[in-house]
Amino acid sequence: MAGPPDVRIRVALASEVPALEALIARSARGLSRSDYAEAEIEALIGHIFGVDSEVVADGTYFVAEVDGQIAGCGGWSRRRTLFGGDRFAARESGLLDPATDAARIRAFFVDPAFARRGIGAAILAACEQAAIAAGFRELALMATLPGVPFYEAFGFIGTADAIVPAGDLEIRFRPMTKRV
């Protein structure tokens, strides 16, 4: 899979989960400050954000590399879970039906050192292509507030914000969908 000329998209490996978890924390801390308070960011990292090992095992979670360095990650899923890593309690492993359900776009994070260089767009393109190839005609995701403009730029439409508990805090997200 390819993205912008300097970006290589490939399937994530289980052995990379610790590096991806570190990238996710860097991304959240570096790119979420305009929309979330520090306490909210730390609650997100501790309770919701993270790698979903089922998506990695399914081979539908990708990494973006620039010059051999992991610059971002994200994926799609045919499982019911809409968002959240392994630490997030509200998970459903059941499989979706491509004829009636929307594939899930999951856990997009870009290292702040690589922000705004087409990393997220390259991962999203790979996810959309794979979901379409698997028979899905709709995509659904739960966007963080800083992610909303990104997803809107690629045709996703949001609904009313959702409030999700994260430890002692309640955090705003926006459910979004797209027909493909």
How much is the pLDDT for 84? 82
Domain boundaries, position 94: 8-83+90-136
More confident residue, 4 or 88: 88
Q: pLDDT tens digits, residue range 30-39? A: 999 999 999 9
Residue 176: inside a domain: no
Angle at 172 between CA 167 and CA 178, to 5 degrees: 125
How many CA atoms does the CB half-sphere of 162 hold within 13 Å?
Answer: 16
Strand 157-158 relative to strand 162-166, pairing: unpaired
Strand (E) positions, the chain? 8-11, 61-66, 69-77, 103-110, 138-144, 157-158, 162-166, 169-179
Residue 112: inside a domain: yes
Residue 117: inside a domain: yes
Residue 75: inside a domain: yes
More confident residue, 2 or 146: 146
> How does the average pLDDT of the chain come out, rounded?
94
Residue 89's pLDDT band (boundaries 50, 70, 90)?
Answer: low
Residue 22: inside a domain: yes
CB 116 within 8 A of CB 65: no
Q: pLDDT tens digits, residue range 141-173? A: 999 999 999 999 999 999 999 999 999 999 999
How much is the pLDDT for 158? 97
Which residue in 73, 83, 76 sits closest to 55, CA to CA? 76
Q: Whole-angstrom Cα distance, residue 158 to residue 9?
A: 27
Average pLDDT score over residue span 44-49: 94
Report pTM. Answer: 0.93
CB 164 within 8 A of CB 156: no
Residue 1 has pLDDT above 60, yes or no: no
Residue 2 has pLDDT above 70, yes or no: no
Residue 57: inside a domain: yes
Look up the CATH number of the domain holding residue 76: 3.40.630.30
How much is the pLDDT for 5? 58
Tell me how many domains the chain contains: 1
